[in-house]
Amino acid sequence: MPMYQPSSRRREYEVAGGGHVLDLETAVKDGILGGGDRVVSGGGPTDEKLDLKKMVEELDSIEVPTVFICPISLEPMQDPVTLCTGQTYERSNILKWFSLGHFTCPTTMQELWEESVTPNKTLHQLIHSWFSQKYLAMKKRSEDVQGRALEILETLKKVKGQARVQALKELRQVVTAHDSAKKTVSDNGGFGLISSLLGRFTTHAVGSEAIGILVNLDLDLESRANLIQPAKVSLVVDMLNEGSIETKVNCTKLIEMLMFGRDFKSEIVSSLSLLVGLLRLVKDKRHPNGVLAGLGLLKLICSHEGVRNSVVSIGAIPQLVEILPNLNVECLELSLYILEVLSTLPEGRLALKDCPNTIPNTVKLLMKVSENCTQLALSILWAVCELAPEECALVAVDAGLAAKLLLVIQSGCNPVLKQQSAELLKLCSLNYTPTIFISKCKLTRTIQ
């Protein structure tokens, strides 16, 4: 249970500007606790109508003055009570402490000479006033943002050229930063207006900003169907190939959103230009966010059987195999998933066999990253070794596969994984006498 360090009964609270107030009463009197906003401690009508629990929940990301925090839960207090030691806690937390058989002050560990708790009305009033100010200020900012979003939508109906780009840029910044602006745009015809700006003759400057807005909105099925028009999809694919890294990532997000629409057809993502653009994004290790976005979309695309041959035909397999050693865990699992899916095709298995780094790069991943990675890597290795056992099994054993498979069998992995490992180990052993195969296992294990 988290605890604050013991402190004296008379606390010193820091105030904006570098000064200090010596106690809570002074803080209430001067209205200066909690930063630059002046606190009204009188508890006016507006304050009393605001629910403290709701305000605390909605302001969960705000930095709260230390004095408002319960030393037990490290959360803002809503019903503060004070012990005979002078320390204050949230009522429910200190009562739970007592119910566990403790009759000490959690902060000072002093024995309590009185078991009763006293409501700290002054602190409660101060907490309520402070949260009320912050909550009302937040609401006002939200209203201002919504108003600005409406103004920009009206502006977009009238302007063209660079003025349109600037308006879109500002709207993108607003919807990215404020959830209330997203709802305002959606509820006031913003989607239709922005979608209408995408077409065959749209400049990349306008398209980039418009897509940056769309990926931040909650698109319904009708909106997604509207965007699956050839001219709009073609523009998105062009920008995926030629835009900035931010634009490319947004394009992948938008295509992914469209793939969950009711009118989506796999032909939409079978475009070679789209697939080539994704591979370029995946191979660009300068931008990890782009690699992750590209692999995520490629995985989703490969879930459609009709597109898999196209993915193989553009040389995706050797390119994915080459980047395996440089990927983080999340990207690695995505890449292995894609390779495993493509290995179900005859063309995919042949491409994996013909890539010289398939076996060494995949063997290294066994029992190294995660059980899921091991499962996918095993499936890929099985597909390759089964295709050409005499050729590939020899390479696999020299790469240390036999020793890794023995590790899997002896580990706490799931039974299915162990069974697959045993079958692959048996396949690899067919080209050796028992004595030579055992020596190979020992040798590679010693080297590793």
pLDDT at 46 over 50: no
Q: Which of the pair, 341 or 406, is modelled with greater confidence?
A: 341
Q: What is the mean pLDDT of the chain?
A: 85
Q: pLDDT digits over 167-203, tens only?
A: 999 999 999 988 889 999 999 999 999 999 999 899 9
Length of the chain counted residue by residue: 448
Task: Determine, yes or no, domain membership for 448.
Answer: no
| Token code pair at residue 287 | 């931008």
Q: How far, in whole angstroms, is CA 293 from its chain's centroid?
A: 11
| Token code pair at residue 342 | 């493509």
Q: Please state the domain count of the chain.
A: 1
Secondary structure element (H or E) that encloses residue 236, with its range: helix 230-242
pLDDT at residue number 440: 64
Question: With contact defined as beta carbons under 8 Å apart, do 280 and 319 qualify?
Answer: no
Host domain of residue 118: 51-135
Q: Give the HSE-up count for residue 198: Cα atoms under 13 Å, Cβ half-sphere.
A: 29
Dist. CA 426–CA 421, nearest whole Å: 9
Gyration radius of the chain over CA positions: 31
Dist. CA 303–CA 337, nearest whole Å: 10
Task: Determine, yes or no, domain membership for 78.
Answer: yes
pLDDT tier, 20 (very low <50, low <70, confident <90, very high otherwise): very low
Task: Determine, yes or no, domain membership for 260.
Answer: no
pLDDT at 41 over 80: no
3-state DSSP assignment of residue 21: strand
pLDDT at residue number 442: 59
Neighbours of 192 (CB within 10 A): 11
3-state DSSP assignment of residue 385: helix
Q: pLDDT digits over 271-307, tens only?
A: 999 999 999 999 999 999 999 999 999 999 999 999 9
Average pLDDT value for residue range 236-258: 95
Please state, for a pLDDT cut of 90, what percent of the chain lies above it: 61
Q: How many helices (H) does the chain have, and how many strands (E)?
A: 24, 5
Q: In degrees, to the nearest 5, what angle opens at C-alpha 221 toward C-alphas 218 and 222? A: 105
CATH number at residue 97: 3.30.40.10
Q: In degrees, to the nearest 5, what angle opens at C-alpha 15 toward C-alphas 42 and 4? A: 95
Which residue, among 17, 21, 22, has the nearest Cα to 35 in the 3D structure? 17
Dump the DSSP string for 75-108. Answer: SB-SSEEE-TTS-EEEHHHHHHHHHTT--B-TTT
| Token code pair at residue 262 | 């009711």
Task: Determine, yes or no, domain membership for 245.
Answer: no
Task: Determine, yes or no, domain membership for 381.
Answer: no
pLDDT at 413 over 90: no
Q: How far is CA 18 from CA 11, 13, 40, in A?
A: 16, 10, 21
Task: Determine, yes or no, domain membership for 423.
Answer: no
Please state, for a pLDDT cut of 70, what percent of the chain lies above it: 86
Question: With contact defined as beta carbons under 8 Å apart, do 72 and 95 qualify?
Answer: no
**Roughly what angle, to the nearest 10 degrees, separates helices 329-342 and 305-313?**
100
pLDDT at 54 over 90: no
Task: Determine, yes or no, domain membership for 369.
Answer: no
pLDDT at 343 over 80: yes
Task: Determine, yes or no, domain membership for 218.
Answer: no
